Amino acid sequence: MTTTTTTNLHHQRANPHSKALSSNSYSRRRKFVFCFVLFLACAGLFELRFLEKEKKWTPASPVNNRVALHLGAGAGAAGAADDDGAFRRRDDAARRVQDTDHEDYARNNNNRDARRRRRRRRVSEPKKELSYEEEEQLRKQRMEERMAGGKDVRESNDKSQPNHQEHEKLRVEHVDSLNKSSIVFAAFASAGFHEFMLNWYAHTQKLNIGNVIVAAFDAETEKVCKENNIPYLGDEELRYTHGVVATGGQPLHDQNAKVTMVGKAFQQIGALKASFLLRLMQKGFRVLVSDCDTAWMKDPREWFATNEMAKYVDMAVSTDCLSYKNEEKVRGCWHDQFNTGILFLNPTEKTKGFLKDWQVALKTTTHNFEHDQDIFNRLLREGAGLRPPQRLDEIDVENRKEGAERHELHVALASKDLKLGALPLTLFTSGHVFFIQQTHLHLNVEPFVVHTTYQFSQARGKRQRLREHQLWLIDAQEYHDEGNFITTSEKPPQELLSIGIENHLKLASWYRLVLRNLFAYAEILNRIPILPEFSCLCDRYWGNVLPQCYIPGADIHPPYNKCPMDHVTNLPNLERAGLNFREYSFLTNEQTSDKIKQSVETVSLSRQFPTDEEIRDQLGRKTDKRVLVLETASKSFCTFKDESKSKAFDSKMQTGLEAESHFCKHGGSTGRICEIGFTKPKGVSQNRDCDRMRSEDFDFEKFYDKLWEHKG
């Protein structure tokens, strides 16, 4: 060492430039150290700001200590800039202290580094299609991080993150609290269908069904679920982004709301439904999912538990088939359209695969008018298609034991060998089978559920049908307790009751005149009309029903008693006109107050075709009776004495009684010949000669310019 030093000193003396070289070397070292220290300081400040942004830094935290160590190491190196060994020793010391940081910081640091790596991979790698198992694993990972108080792996910058975490906990609690040993009853809803969701849920509670979940496809629906204590699943991956879909028309709570007919809206709803069901399948639940415009009248769980077919199938679906005779003859209506409004799903691999295919097809279809049900039916028939019915002898033996249920679940093989069950149409009923044919009454069968299909007044038609059959459970108590009422016991002329389109349209005209008069009495006496029952002599259908007056394939033919109101009126127009009314079954509904049921009086008029003043004089004092029943309604009203009131009433009726229906058959130059109803009676501001009406004994036809139109 001494020799080396002496040599260096001698070299410096011998070299005239040695002082300059030494000075330059020293300067370069100083610059290098300074730049390195500056780099460490900047790195420390950057890390400090990053941690503050993550809200994980506090003044006394180990993270802050680590930043101070970085800065201290840099300062020590500057103080010993002329000694590289000192710099290395201090840096080693800093690293040793760093290694002693708390475990929780190390865990957070590792998580942060992992998130950085994931972000870099997402930027650098092309996006790839994930399998359902990978998607489910990613969801579980996000759930665990949120439940632990961490952030979503996607590093959301949403300032409402605490609320999102709280919402996620609710979601997890609702799903994870479901019982795997019992069938899960599921539904889904978005804005515009909340009333139907509430009614669906009310029926499950009436049957004491607790294993329930609703997919909430938007924030408004989540809010309604929370307010009504409905278990729900809802997050950013189940978000519907279009307007109210037009299948239900305007929402019940907003008759002026805009609706959408965009095909992508229907397809998105279907894809979200498939995604929702995939989640439940992945968790191993058996699921009975139905549209929220269904009403469960009887608990089906025992039927599924004792039906061997239900254990065998991958999935089972309801049908739009109208004939129970045909269903029994061929052991399933395999050539009719399946209706996805009611689905039973076993969590098999084939079920999961089909749901995934359904979801992908809905997301990728380029057909604007192909809806979820269309794609569902198409996928089932792809490849080898349906092979009905399969002889499953070991299953059939179980179903045909003495005393076994008459209504069995028929099974066929569908595309990709999926075992498909056809739910019996007499137990899982469509709107036509239940409301029009009323097959359950003819066969003395108790259906499990009804789906409000085959109707013509959108959401209001669905609600009216459920009210008529006392299946609408969510009306406010005031609906059944408050108000005074007016109705009639008059029956239509007997000569109108034979089957045929002409008689049907005449009968509809008679009935609509009765409705007009009841609305007049309601206005004069401040009462609410209870609409009388109506019999359909011809079915209403968007296809051809003539000349036989029923839909081809239907088992039960007209007349259809207690026909739905949407077969002779347009319910949205009645509401748009501001007309309040009650359904024909109001006085037999168990929810209706006994004070109303026990306060009924039948009244007859002193003469036909009275004015409003005469009606008020005769009936206005009967305020002690909650219900007045007119013996005659078709000849019960002439006009308002005040002409301005007559015109105002006519204007209201012009809106309220606006309706149209085509009853068609093949033929004519256009391929269809149609009879078009329903025309409106003449206004009371036109027919003001009450004496003439009485003297000529006007029948209902004289109140119409024409009863229907002919086209074709």
Residue-by-residue DSSP string for 182-232: SPEEEEEE-TT-HHHHHHHHHHHHHTT---EEEEE-SHHHHHHHHHTT--E
What is the rounded distance in angstroms from the CA atom of residue 453 to the CA atom of residue 273?
19
Q: What mean pLDDT comes out for the span 348-375?
A: 92
* Domain co-membership, 707 together with 573: yes
Strand pairing report for 449-451 and 294-296: antiparallel
> Is residue 134 in some structural domain?
no
* Domain co-membership, 527 together with 663: yes
Q: Which of 294-308, 397-411, 478-492 has the lowest mean pLDDT?
A: 397-411
The token duo for 382 is 């792809």
Q: Which CATH number does the domain housing residue 389 bear?
A: 3.90.550
Taking a C-beta distance cutoff of 8 angstroms, is the pair 423, 294 a contact? no
The residues facing 601 across adjacent strands are 628
* Domain co-membership, 188 together with 302: yes
In this predicted model, which residue has the larger pLDDT, 158 or 452? 452
* Domain co-membership, 340 together with 292: yes
pLDDT for 252 = 72
pLDDT for 165 = 43
> Is residue 151 in some structural domain?
no
Taking a C-beta distance cutoff of 8 angstroms, is the pair 565, 515 a contact? no
Report how far apart the first and last C-alpha atoms of the chain are (Å, whole number).
Answer: 120
Picking from 79, 108, 137, the residue at the C-terminal end of a domain is 108
pLDDT for 451 = 98
Buried b (16+ CB within 10 A) or exposed e, 433-449: bbbbbbbbeeeebebbb
What is the rounded distance in angstroms from the CA atom of residue 226 to the CA atom of residue 219?
11
pLDDT tier, 246 (very low <50, low <70, confident <90, very high otherwise): low
Range of the domain at 318: 168-450
- The label of the residue with tokens 């991080």 reads 145
% of the chain exceeding 90 in pLDDT: 60
Whether the bond between 547 and the residue before it is cis, its omega within 30 degrees of 0, is yes
Taking a C-beta distance cutoff of 8 angstroms, is the pair 351, 415 a contact? no
What is the rounded distance in angstroms from the CA atom of residue 711 to the CA atom of residue 472?
38
What is the rounded distance in angstroms from the CA atom of residue 80 to the CA atom of residue 97?
20
Q: What mean pLDDT comes out for the span 133-141?
A: 52
> Is residue 567 in some structural domain?
yes
pLDDT for 268 = 85
In this predicted model, which residue has the larger pLDDT, 30 or 22? 30
* Domain co-membership, 99 together with 199: no
Q: Which of 187-191, 210-214, 246-250, 392-396 has the lowest mean pLDDT?
A: 392-396
pLDDT for 247 = 63
Domain count, the chain: 3
In this predicted model, which residue has the larger pLDDT, 119 or 75? 119
In this predicted model, which residue has the larger pLDDT, 109 or 11? 109
* Domain co-membership, 524 together with 562: yes
In this predicted model, which residue has the larger pLDDT, 408 or 661? 661
> Is residue 181 in some structural domain?
yes
The most distant pair of C-alpha atoms in the chain lies apart, rounded to whole Å, by 148
In this predicted model, which residue has the larger pLDDT, 137 or 105? 137
Picking from 66, 90, 108, the residue at the C-terminal end of a domain is 108
pLDDT tier, 162 (very low <50, low <70, confident <90, very high otherwise): very low
In this predicted model, which residue has the larger pLDDT, 369 or 333? 333
> Is residue 55 in some structural domain?
yes
pLDDT for 20 = 41
pLDDT tier, 63 (very low <50, low <70, confident <90, very high otherwise): very low
* Domain co-membership, 188 together with 73: no
What is the rounded distance in angstroms from the CA atom of residue 393 to the CA atom of residue 312?
12
Q: Which of 132-136, 182-186, 414-418 has the lowest mean pLDDT?
A: 132-136
CB atoms within 10 A of CB 190: 26
pLDDT for 104 = 42
Q: What mean pLDDT comes out for the span 84-94?
A: 39
Taking a C-beta distance cutoff of 8 angstroms, is the pair 646, 611 a contact? no
> Is residue 50 in some structural domain?
yes
Residue 513 has pLDDT above 80, yes or no: yes
* Domain co-membership, 199 together with 308: yes
Q: Which of 188-192, 368-372, 632-636 has the lowest mean pLDDT?
A: 368-372
* Domain co-membership, 341 together with 429: yes
What is the rounded distance in angstroms from the CA atom of residue 107 to the CA atom of residue 103?
6
pLDDT tier, 340 (very low <50, low <70, confident <90, very high otherwise): very high
Strand pairing report for 315-319 and 338-345: antiparallel
DSSP designation for 282: H
The per-residue DSSP string of 638-702 comes to: ---SSHHHHHHHHHHHHHHT---EEEEEE-STTSEEEEEE---PPPTTT---HHHHHHHT--GGG
The one-letter amino acid code at 618 reads: Q
In this predicted model, which residue has the larger pLDDT, 514 or 116? 514
* Domain co-membership, 436 together with 507: no
At 654, phi and psi to the nearest 5? -60, -35
pLDDT for 9 = 35
The one-letter amino acid code at 517 reads: N
The residues facing 189 across adjacent strands are 216
> Is residue 462 in some structural domain?
no
What is the rounded distance in angstroms from the CA atom of residue 519 to the CA atom of residue 627?
15
* Domain co-membership, 74 together with 193: no
Mean pLDDT of the chain: 80
Q: What mean pLDDT comes out for the span 431-438?
A: 97
Sign for the CA dihedral angle at 365, 367, 251, 248 comes to negative
- The label of the residue with tokens 């009462």 reads 527
Q: What mean pLDDT comes out for the span 174-198?
A: 91
What is the rounded distance in angstroms from the CA atom of residue 302 to the CA atom of residue 545?
39
pLDDT for 269 = 84
The residues facing 344 across adjacent strands are 288, 316
Residue 241 has pLDDT above 60, yes or no: yes
Taking a C-beta distance cutoff of 8 angstroms, is the pair 538, 549 a contact? yes
pTM for the predicted model, two decimal places: 0.75
Picking from 70, 91, 108, the residue at the C-terminal end of a domain is 108
At 616, phi and psi to the nearest 5? -65, -40
Q: What mean pLDDT comes out for the span 472-494?
A: 96
Residue 485 has pLDDT above 90, yes or no: yes
pLDDT for 28 = 62
Burial class (CB in 10 A: 0-12, 13-18, 19+), 172: middle
DSSP designation for 246: G
pLDDT for 148 = 44
What is the rounded distance in angstroms from the CA atom of residue 149 to the CA atom of residue 593?
52
Whether the bond between 532 and the residue before it is cis, its omega within 30 degrees of 0, is no
Q: Which CATH number does the domain housing residue 608 bear?
A: 3.40.50
* Domain co-membership, 88 together with 199: no
Most confident of 45-59, 75-89, 587-601: 587-601
> Is residue 145 in some structural domain?
no
Q: What mean pLDDT comes out for the span 547-572?
A: 95
